[in-house]
Amino acid sequence: MKVKGIEIPLAVQEAAVAVMKTKHSFTAFNVTSVVAQHMGVKTSDEIAYRTADRIIQRERKAGNIGPSDSARSRSSYWKWIGK
């Protein structure tokens, strides 16, 4: 995966997915924090935020994550529903 011309290592992507799988629910900020830590940047760095957003989009489209509250179609809280 490339974000703004920077190749995001597979290990960073896997660490982000691991957080999604292990937390009861998570936010984009939780994923951004993991990405930033592994990439050695601040959580406010655009690369960290955009990488987290792309990973969340990818997993949502794959059917692996959904809103934490199933009664709400849009929420800032997500949960892992995949395998």
- What is the pLDDT at residue 75? 77
- What is the pLDDT at residue 76? 87
- Residue 82 located in a structural domain: no
- What is the pLDDT at residue 71? 76
Neighbours of 45 (CB within 10 A): 15
- Residue 10 located in a structural domain: yes
Domain with 60, as residue range(s), is 2-71
- Residue 37 located in a structural domain: yes
User: Does the pLDDT value for residue 11 go beyond 90?
Assistant: yes
SS3 70: coil
Q: Are 31 and 48 within 8 A, CB to CB?
A: no
pTM attached to this predicted model: 0.90
- Residue 83 located in a structural domain: no
- Residue 80 located in a structural domain: no
- Residue 39 located in a structural domain: yes
- Tell me how many domains the chain contains: 1
- Residue 20 located in a structural domain: yes
Give me the residue label for tokens 């969340």: 56
User: Does the pLDDT value for residue 72 go beyond 90?
Assistant: no
17-69 residue pLDDT tens: 999 999 999 999 999 999 999 999 999 999 999 999 999 999 999 999 999 98
What is the helix (H) or strand (E) element at residue 67, kind and residue range?
strand 65-67
